[in-house]
């Protein structure tokens, strides 16, 4: 029984609870204690525990009160409970070890606040007044006035006062914001004036000497700032300036007064200062209105030469030793500066000439240039990045206003000059900061990214001036490198190239046209042997500069296309190939191959002269088993893309022939150890196919003569390339046993055959359909089960792209070979059923005449698709529902097809049944609909809606009869219910409202509710 307990046993369990690490034991103890806490004698237990000498027991006693208060409706006994809690609070509070018991006191106070907040109507006086009044022995609390008594409070009473304030308002903030009006009103009327008066008292008399007490007061101010924001949002209470919120700010600002010039004394105040920084920042960010009157004073404190900020920077920040020790405090100080700056950003940005603004910016520039490497040694420059970004944004967003304000052109130009000079100083600092340094941490990459974002913003203000400065710097560094190389020079070079890359990449991402003006600047450093210099000096530990160069190269295809840039392609390609062919640098090689692919795809017309070099490299890569397959495939694509741009079928044929020939040779040496390589050879053929595809508007791409010449060439195919493609594909995916059973090999070979299906004129990959079918027939007889999906998928694509070329007889033969002869396989595997049904569904959608008249359709396929409806597997149910919907709609069906289907639906008896196929379809569909999960309902809606639309009378009868049968054992669903449902459904005439009726029906059948309406 929960009401019966032995205090010794309870105490023993509590002590164990706080000692053990065994989670099972903890659960066991909790399941013993919780019922006791919730029981009718829980409060009595709490009191006993509070009297125990152990602090764990005392705290558990306070916790037990919380549980008791939350479990029992105790309005009637609440006064007694308050007395008890106060008595206990006093008992602990009068002990000398107040601070060490603070956690218990807090819990008890929280209980008091809980009672007050739960039963606010019962209480006339707030819990803080009650607690402090009772603790002084006041009987009639309504006569107790905190504001009058406050000057006589002891340190413990002051502490209790501020703790209670914090707890009360923090607890209110945690509550559901609805129904807090009364609480907010009561706090505004009776609690806030007391805290305000107490702070006013301290503001006149200075805060107490006790550091602990000062911290409590600052905590309390912080809680009030957060509370005020919540209360103003959630009620009609307003803490206007008249309410003298100013006392909160004054108390805080007084902490920033200079009491000593001594660093040691500043250090001794650090905890209080740190708290002041965070609370002031919180105010600036959440409730800046409170600070409005004090902004000037705050600015002086933070930025003036004789203010607190200067002292803090001089004594703490400038000291190497102290800045390391107080890095967190410095971070909070800088946050406060940023919060202030953000609140005054418009003023600062418009008044650059004002001495006070100049002083502020001077301080911030100094902090931006905080000594040390970013992230690993300092974080201030990172913190200030957000401010500088915001600062630049203001100029971008405010440019029209500025022009209006500074009407005279001369004045405006002067202003812009000053602004630009300031921003260039900022950029110079960050430019230095992003240089790689020894053991730079991974987060440094993120820092560089943030800096690059600032530069992107700066570009939109400073335009090419900043870009040209960066480019000029690269040029200078290259000259220096050529005269006397050092690793530092390389790092400088990298930093500038990184920023150029990021700005250029951003510009090309947004707008191709604007990049033209960059070409001369880029030329500036390319003409000073950028690529050659980096290639010469980079070593195994300078991957960063190689990566940056690779990225830059991939961002400037517009440059290589230009007359200025064209001549640099040769050294660029040499560099890229040296990177790609370096087997020890996998990541670099991958990035390099991506760069090559990008340049080749973007500037293929300009790269024709590189074909011989590329060919040599490519043929080597095909031979080299060690080359990463992604790189090999990208190089094939690059090579063929360039060849394609010649628009010369003879050259195209010759180049494809060379690659195929090499692949063919390699195919002879493959073995099980290099299976991945063998698959990669198939992928290479696929890449040839991808890169050979003509653009959509072939008329715009080829002249009529070119088009005819190409078509003629590939019709003749003098080098026998098509045969060669088929032979190599068959060799690797069919004849070579290990790959014959390899799913990815089948996938790749199907992709190869798919490449030419949509080509408008003849090309290397446009095969005759029977040729593809022959391959597929051979393949389906020699492959693993997962491969079949790719085979069917290819047939589906053939139907979509070339269905008009097929006859019903073709289809009949295909179905015989691919489906009927393999039927056992299909019935064994749910994925294969989906695959087959999807294919039939596509035929019904695109070319129904190919299917609906076939005997096999009626004898096999329909029954197969009916069984598909019995599944709960998402893809299958979706494919099957779509199959039946396509059959019913028969969008592209001729009159004859429509007639056949109608006949099938109404008159054909389904296999092994005396019912029509339509009846069986509705029967299976409705049973499946009821049984399927909510997420599958969508798949059925179209099916039912089309049945209603196309077969209204039959559907009505079928559905009624089926539902009566389905519900014969469920008394809730009477015949009247069925009739009503059928009528409702028929009234929708198959329109969208049918979805709602069906969903409602599904919910009722499954005893569920619509979560949208609850």
- Give min distance, CB of 331 to another protein, in A: 13
Specify the residue, 630 or 800, whose C-beta has the smaller distance to another protein.
630
Please tell me the distance from the alpha carbon of residue 304 to that of residue 363, in angstroms, as a whole number: 9
Residue nearer to another protein on the CB measure, 381 or 910: 381
Phi, psi (degrees; rounded to nearest 5) at 179: 60, 35
Q: Where are the beta strands (DSSP E) in 297-385?
A: none
Q: Give CA separation, 571 vs 161, 603, 610, in Å.
A: 77, 16, 11
Indicate the residue among 90 and 460 with the shorter CB distance to another protein: 460
The total of other beta-carbon atoms located within 10 Å of residue 766's CB is: 18
Number of Cβ within a 10 Å radius of residue 642: 23
Report, in Å, the least distance between residue 547 CB and another protein.
5
Least distance from another protein to the Cβ atom of residue 398, Å: 15
Q: Which is nearer to another protein, 437 or 875 (CB)?
A: 875
**Residue number with CB closer to another protein (90 or 601):** 601
Distance CA 383, CA 367 (A): 10
- Between vectors from CA 136 to CA 130 and to CA 142, what angle results, nearest 5°? 40
Say whether 909 sits in a helix, a strand or coil. Answer: strand
Residue (553 or 815) nearer to another protein, CB: 553
Residue with structure tokens 């406050």? 150
| Cβ atoms < 10 Å from Cβ of 484 | 7
| Cα–Cα distance for residue pair 960/953, rounded to 1 Å | 11
**Nearer CB in complex with another protein: 786/949:** 786
- Shortest Å, Cβ 548 to another protein: 7
Rounded-to-integer distance, Cα 38 and Cα 41, Å: 8
Locate 101 and state its tokens: 């018991």
Q: Kindly report the backbone phi and psi dihedral angles of residue 539, in degrees, each rounded to the nearest multiple of 5, phi listed first.
A: -125, -175
Of 325 and 453, CB closest to another protein: 453
Distance CA 856, CA 861 (A): 7
Least gap, CB of 875 to another protein (angstroms): 5
Could you tell me if 896 and 943 are in contact, meaning their C-beta atoms sit under 8 angstroms apart? no
Nearer to another protein, 188 or 751 (CB): 751
Closest contact distance (angstroms) between CB of 453 and another protein is 7
Min CB(591)–another protein separation in Å: 5
> What ranges in 759-861 are assigned the alpha helix state H?
769-780, 787-802, 808-818, 823-828, 830-846, 855-856
335 contact partners, CB below 8 Å, separation of at least 6: 277, 278, 281, 383
**Smallest distance, another protein to C-beta of residue 450, A:** 8
SS3 sequence of 210-227:
CHHHHHHHHHHHHHHHHH
**Rounded to the nearest whole angstrom, what is the least distance from the CB of residue 842 to another protein in the complex?**
14
Considering the complex, state which of residue 80 and residue 445 has its C-beta at the smaller distance from another protein. Answer: 445
Confirm if 740 and 670 have CB atoms less than 8 A apart: no
Whose Cβ is closer to another protein: residue 554's or residue 910's? 554
Q: How far apart are CA 179 and CA 866, in angstroms?
A: 57
Going 798 to 804 to 809 to 815, the CA torsion angle's sign is positive
Nearer to another protein, 198 or 546 (CB): 546
- Nearer Cβ to another protein, position 609 or 676? 676
Provide, rounded to whole angstroms, the least separation between the CB of residue 676 and another protein.
8
Q: 10 Å Cβ neighbour count for 807?
A: 10
Q: Answer yes or no: are the C-beta atoms of 168 and 128 closer than 8 Å.
A: yes
Question: Hey, how many other C-beta atoms are within 10 angstroms of the C-beta on 974?
Answer: 12
Q: How far is the CB of 1006 from another protein (least distance, A)?
A: 17
Q: How far is the CB of 605 from another protein (least distance, A)?
A: 25
**What are φ and ψ of residue 819, in 5° steps?**
-120, -55
Backbone phi and psi for residue 784, each to the nearest 5 degrees, phi listed first: -85, 165
What token pair was written down for 5?
């307990």
Beta pairing partners, 909: 916
Q: Least CB distance from residue 215 to another protein, whole Å?
A: 27
Q: Based on CB atoms, which residue is closest to another protein, 7 or 830? A: 830
3-state secondary structure of 374: strand
Please state the closest distance from residue 789 (CB atom) to another protein, in A: 8
Which residues of the chain form contacts with another protein (CB under 8 A)? 386, 389, 442-443, 445-446, 449, 453, 509-511, 544, 547-548, 550-551, 554, 587, 590-591, 594, 628-630, 743-744, 786, 789, 831, 834, 874-875, 935, 1011-1012
Residue 550: CB minimum distance to another protein, A: 7
**What residues pair up with 378 in beta bridges, in sequence order?**
374
- Which C-beta is closer to another protein: that of 639 or that of 790? 790
Q: How many helices (H) and strands (E) does the chain have?
A: 57, 0
Q: How far is the CB of 386 from another protein (least distance, A)?
A: 5
Q: In terms of CB distance, is 399 or 809 closer to another protein?
A: 399
Tokens for 453?
Answer: 């974002």
**Hey, what are 414's tokens?**
């002067």
Tell me how far CA of residue 925 lies from CA of 868, 886, 958, in angstroms: 10, 15, 12
Quote the least distance from Cβ 726 to another protein, whole Å.
25
CB of 463 to another protein, least distance (A): 14
Q: Quick check: 993 and 941 in contact, CB under 8 A?
A: no
Measured between alpha carbons, how far is 721 from 288 in angstroms, rounded to an integer? 75
- Which CB atom, from 64 or from 683, has the smaller least distance to another protein? 683
Closer CB to another protein, 248 or 456, in the complex:
456
The Cα–Cα gap between 452 and 288 comes to: 31
Cβ atoms of 170 and 198 within 8 Å: the answer is no
Measured between its terminal Cα atoms, the distance across the chain in Å is 39
């Amino acid at each position: 029984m929960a009401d019966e307990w032995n205090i010794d046993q309870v105490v023993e369990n509590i002590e164990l609870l706080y000692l053990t690490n065994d989670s099972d034991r903890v659960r066991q103890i909790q399941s013993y204690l919780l019922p006791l806490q919730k029981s009718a004698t829980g409060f009595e237990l709490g009191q006993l525990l509070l009297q125990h000498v152990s602090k764990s027991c005392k705290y558990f006693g306070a916790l037990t009160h919380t549980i008791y208060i939350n479990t029992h409706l105790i309005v009637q006994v609440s006064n007694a409970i308050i007395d008890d809690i106060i008595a206990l609070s006093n008992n602990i509070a009068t002990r000398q070890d107040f601070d060490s018991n603070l956690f218990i006191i807090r819990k008890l106070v929280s209980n008091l606040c809980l009672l007050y907040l739960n039963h606010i109507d019962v209480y006339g006086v707030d819990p803080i007044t009650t607690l402090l009044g009772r603790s002084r022995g006041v009987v009639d609390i309504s006569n107790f006035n905190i504001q009058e008594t406050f000057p006589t409070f002891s340190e413990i009473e002051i502490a209790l006062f501020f703790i209670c304030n914090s707890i009360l308002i923090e607890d209110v903030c945690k509550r559901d914001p609805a129904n807090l009006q009364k609480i907010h009103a009561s706090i505004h009327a009776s609690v806030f004036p007391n805290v305000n008066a107490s702070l006013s008292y301290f503001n006149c008399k200075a805060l107490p000497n006790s550091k602990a007490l000062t911290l409590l007061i600052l905590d309390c101010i912080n809680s009030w700032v957060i509370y005020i924001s919540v209360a103003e949002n959630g009620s009609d209470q307003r803490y206007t300036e008249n309410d003298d919120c100013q006392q909160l700010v004054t108390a805080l600002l007084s902490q920033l007064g200079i009491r000593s010039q001594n660093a040691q004394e500043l250090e001794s105040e650090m905890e209080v200062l740190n708290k002041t920084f965070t609370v002031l920042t919180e105010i600036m960010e959440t409730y800046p209105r409170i600070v409005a009157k004090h902004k000037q004073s705050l600015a002086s404190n933070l930025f003036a030469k004789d203010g607190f900020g200067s002292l803090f920077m001089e004594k703490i920040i400038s000291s190497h030793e102290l800045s390391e020790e107080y890095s967190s405090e410095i971070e909070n100080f800088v946050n406060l500066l940023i919060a202030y700056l953000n609140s005054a950003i418009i003023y600062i940005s418009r008044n650059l000439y004002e001495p006070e603004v100049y002083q502020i910016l001077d301080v911030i520039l100094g902090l931006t240039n905080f000594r040390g490497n970013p992230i690993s040694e300092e974080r201030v420059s990172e913190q200030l990045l957000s401010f500088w970004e915001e600062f630049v944004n203001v100029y971008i967003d405010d440019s029209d206003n500025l022009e209006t304000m500074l009407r005279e052109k001369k004045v405006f130009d002067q202003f812009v000059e000053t602004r630009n000079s300031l921003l260039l100083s900022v950029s110079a600092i960050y430019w230095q900061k992003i240089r790689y340094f020894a053991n730079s941490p991974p987060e440094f990459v993120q820092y560089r990214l943030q800096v690059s974002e600032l530069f992107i913003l700066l570009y939109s203000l400073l335009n090419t001036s900043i870009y040209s400065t960066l480019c000029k710097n690269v040029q200078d560094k290259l000259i220096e490198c050529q005269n006397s190389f050092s690793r530092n020079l390389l790092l400088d070079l990298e930093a500038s190239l990184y920023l150029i890359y990021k700005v250029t990449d951003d510009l090309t991402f947004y707008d191709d046209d604007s990049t033209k003006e960059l070409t001369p600047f880029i030329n500036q450093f390319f003409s000073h042997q950028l690529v050659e210099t980096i290639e010469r000096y980079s070593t195994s530990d300078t991957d960063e500069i190689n990566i940056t160069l690779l990225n830059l190269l991939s961002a400037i295809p517009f440059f290589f296309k230009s007359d200025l840039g064209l001549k640099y392609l040769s050294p660029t390609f040499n560099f890229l190939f040296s990177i790609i062919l370096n087997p020890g640098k996998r990541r670099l090689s991958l990035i390099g191959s991506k760069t090559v692919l990008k340049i080749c795809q973007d500037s293929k017309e300009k790269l024709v002269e590189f074909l011989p070099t590329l060919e040599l490299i490519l043929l080597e890569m095909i031979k080299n088993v060690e080359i990463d397959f992604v790189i090999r495939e990208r190089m094939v694509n690059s090579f063929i893309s360039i060849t394609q741009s010649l628009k010369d079928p003879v050259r195209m044929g010759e180049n494809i022939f060379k690659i195929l020939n090499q692949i063919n040779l390699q195919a002879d040496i493959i073995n099980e150890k290099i299976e991945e390589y063998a698959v990669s050879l198939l992928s290479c053929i696929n890449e040839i196919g991808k890169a050979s595809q003509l653009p959509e508007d072939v008329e715009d791409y080829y002249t009529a003569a070119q088009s005819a010449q190409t078509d003629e060439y590939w019709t003749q195919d003098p080098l026998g390339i098509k045969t060669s493609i088929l032979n190599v594909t068959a060799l690797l995916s069919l004849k070579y046993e290990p790959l014959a059973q390899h799913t990815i090999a089948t996938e790749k070979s199907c992709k190869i055959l798919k490449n030419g299906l949509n080509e408008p004129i003849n090309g290397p990959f446009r095969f005759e359909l029977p040729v593809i079918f022959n391959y597929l027939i051979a393949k389906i007889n020699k492959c693993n089960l997962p491969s079949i999906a790719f085979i069917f998928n290819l047939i589906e694509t053939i139907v979509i792209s070339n269905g008009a070329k097929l006859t019903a007889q073709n289809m009949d033969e295909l179905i015989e070979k691919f489906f009927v002869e393999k039927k056992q396989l299909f019935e064994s595997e749910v994925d294969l059923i989906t695959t087959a049904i999807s294919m039939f569904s596509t035929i019904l959608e695109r070319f129904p005449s190919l299917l609906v008249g076939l005997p096999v359709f009626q004898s096999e396929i329909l029954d197969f698709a009916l069984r598909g409806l019995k599944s709960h597997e998402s893809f299958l149910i979706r494919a099957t529902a779509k199959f039946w919907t396509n059959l019913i709609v028969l969008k592209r069906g001729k009159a004859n097809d429509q007639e056949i289907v109608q006949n099938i639906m109404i008159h054909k008896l389904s296999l092994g049944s005396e019912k029509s196929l339509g009846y069986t379809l509705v029967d299976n569909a409705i049973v499946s609909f009821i049984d399927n999960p909510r997420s599958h309902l969508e798949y059925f809606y179209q099916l039912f809606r089309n049945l209603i639309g196309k077969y209204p009378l039959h559907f009505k009868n079928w559905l009624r009869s089926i539902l009566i049968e389905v519900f014969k054992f469920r008394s809730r669903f009477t015949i009247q219910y069925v009739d009503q449902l059928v009528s409702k459904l028929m009234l929708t005439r198959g329109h969208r409202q049918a979805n709602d009726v069906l969903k409602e029906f599904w919910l009722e059948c499954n005893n569920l509710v619509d979560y949208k309406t609850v």
